[in-house]
Amino acid sequence: MKKMILAYNFSDERLSGVKRSAVAVKAAVKAVPAESFGEKIGNLIGLPGFEQDSSVPESVFQDEMLLMSGFDSADIDMLIKALRKYGVGRVALKAIVTETNIGWSSAELHDAVKADHEEIQRRSSGG
């Protein structure tokens, strides 16, 4: 699987930083428009066997989110460092394409990643 980053809800300036950062890990970047949030992740990253779904997404989210496909832990570390270097900084919602989430829509993935992030935040604040 070739390396790809799906980028959600980034301003043009911040998306430019993501693209510069992606060079460090030799990954392509695809900005996912809101009208594609109902598409299955597998289709968005171009895997065979996933058909395009033109249905309206069940929800549209506003948070920035990065979804990495074909990355190992070293690639993730390099990308995070590059995001800092190129002025993007911290992106709270990040995920890796897995066998579990590849059949989810972007909206479903966002809801799961956001819930996980909020749980981590709650635990780290002693809540």
Q: CA dihedral in degrees (29, 47, 40, 109; nearest 10)?
A: -60
| Model-wide pTM > 0.85 | yes
Measured between alpha carbons, how far is 71 from 57 in angstroms, rounded to an integer? 27
Indicate the helix (H) or strand (E) that contains 4.
strand 4-8
Cα separations (Å) of 22 from 8, 25, 59? Answer: 15, 5, 28
Model pLDDT, residue 74: 97
Measured between alpha carbons, how far is 72 from 96 in angstroms, rounded to an integer? 9
**Residues 73-123: tens digit of each pLDDT:** 999 999 999 999 999 999 999 999 999 999 999 999 999 999 999 999 899
User: pLDDT grade, residue 59 (50/70/90)?
Assistant: confident
Q: Give backbone dihedrals phi and psi of 88, rounded to 5 degrees, phi first.
A: -80, -40
When pLDDT is averaged across residues 51-56 and rounded to a whole number, the result is 69
Tokens 């635990």 correspond to 123
- pLDDT reading at 127 higher than 80: no
Mean pLDDT, all residues of the chain: 92
Measured between alpha carbons, how far is 125 from 122 in angstroms, rounded to an integer? 5
Contact assessment for residue 50 and residue 36, using Cβ atoms and an 8 Å cutoff: no
* Burial class (CB within 10 angstroms; exposed 0-12, middle 13-18, buried 19+) of 5: buried
User: pLDDT grade, residue 17 (50/70/90)?
Assistant: very high
